[in-house]
Structure 1
Amino acid sequence: MGQIDLRDVGSALIYLGYLAGALAAIGVVMRWVVLRWVVKPLKTWLREQIKAPVDDVHAEMSPNHGSSLRDAVNRIEARQNAMAERFRDHILNHPGGS
């Protein structure tokens, strides 16, 4: 078995440096490829898939002077408040019915 001298260690370190640089370059290129060809199209597709249902829900939850779910809830709440007021008035004005 031969001895390892300083030149062998230096050569090994240089080759390891080349390998590290090559791996870093491959990593940069792969990151760019994944972002460009996988992540961005996926984000665009997901945004398109989610936008229409979210817009529909937003439209139903926003008052539009009559036909939205929010308007229906507001009408029901107003009627319930009016009936509660009438009931309170009835109890106050007609105590102890027959």
Structure 2
Amino acid sequence: MNVNIQTVHFDADGKLVEYVQKKMVKLNTFHDRIIKVDVFLKLDNVVHTIKDKIAEIRVHVPRHHFFVKCSSKSFEESFDSAFESLVNQVKRKKDKTLA
């Protein structure tokens, strides 16, 4: 599994990148044929002076793609909620293919 982490409008510190990579390793337990994972961490300040942190995760498996986008006031919180949604999508798809 190839994990690609990109940051938009900021430079991520080592702790955040390490946090994301640790979580992504767990994704293999839910689906064994993951080819590539793209993680986008973005700062969004369109409306307010307080910047929202956006986490987008795109997962590529044979013949299917999963995409999740969540935003909150911290990257960890955004990433965690996006990761949970992604795990649910992957589990549902895998259950459908096995049934």
Bigger strand share: 2
- TM-score above 0.5: no
**Relative contact order, higher structure (CA 8 A, sep 6+):** 2
TM-score (norm 2): 0.24
Bigger helix share: 1
Determine which structure has more spread, i.e. the larger CA radius of gyration.
Answer: 1
